């Protein structure tokens, strides 16, 4: 259990750092209409790809800790965690 806590803490720290990184902020800028002199569509696609890759890395880093944590929860807690996580990650 103590090892699981260390893994969870490390994953949460990594996710927090990635979430606040420039990749996430850049993704929000990609939705703005490009003004004259702004990067074109290929550059915007490249930035979007970079942001998606950062998100995928974050998910991959969090997943082992999330699975370990989930196994420690009782049925009610698992249901609540699934509901909350679904809203956070945009799951259907």
- Quote the CA–CA distance of 30 and 4 in Å, as a whole number: 37
Domain boundaries, the chain: 2-89
Tens-place pLDDT, residues 16-50? 665 555 444 555 554 555 567 888 999 999 999 99
What single string gives the DSSP state of each residue in the chain?
Answer: -HHHHHHHHHHHHHHHHHHTSHHHHHHHHTTSPPPTTS--HHHHHHHHHHHHHHHHHHHHHHHHHHHHHHHHS-HHHHHHHHHHHHHHHT--
Total-model pTM: 0.51
Q: Give the C-alpha separation, 40 to 17, whole Å.
A: 29
């Amino acid at each position: 259990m103590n090892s699981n806590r260390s893994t969870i803490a490390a994953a949460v720290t990594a996710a927090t750092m990635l979430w606040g990184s420039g990749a996430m902020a850049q993704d929000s800028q990609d939705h703005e209409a490009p003004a004259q002199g702004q990067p074109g569509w290929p550059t915007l696609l490249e930035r979007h790809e970079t942001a998606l890759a950062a998100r995928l890395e974050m998910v991959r880093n969090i997943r082992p800790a999330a699975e370990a944590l989930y196994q420690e929860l009782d049925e009610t807690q698992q249901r609540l965690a699934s509901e909350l996580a679904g809203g956070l990650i945009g799951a259907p």
